[in-house]
Amino acid sequence: MKKTGIINSEISYEVANMRHMDWLSIGDAGMPVPAGTKQIDLALAKQTPSFMEVLENVLQELKVQKNLLG
């Protein structure tokens, strides 16, 4: 069993399988998600976990490249 880093198996899987130029979006409740887009709901209660808690944990394991489009 994984003891450190992202312990949510769905997020851990997605981060581990990301390659160059792949995109990951993190949003709060109510963020529109296009049909056919994989969605992982982490909500335990309103604003739990917070956007920043999720972002900080994901950034511990995910190498983010500079956005070349913007």
Could you say which DSSP state residue 12 is in? H
Annotate 29-60 with DSSP letters as a single string. Answer: TT----TT-------SBTTBS-HHHHHHHHHH
Kindly report, residue by residue over 17-64, the tens digit of the pLDDT.
999 888 899 998 888 999 999 999 999 998 899 999 999 999 999 988
Select which of 2, 20, 38, 66 is catalytic: 20
Reported as a pLDDT band with limits 50, 70 and 90, residue 68 is low
Q: Which residue has the tokens 């992982």?
A: 40
CA distances from 13 to 10, 39, 67 (A): 5, 13, 23
Residue 70 has pLDDT above 60, yes or no: no
Known catalytic membership, residue 20:
yes
Cα 64 from Cα 28, distance rounded (Å) = 20
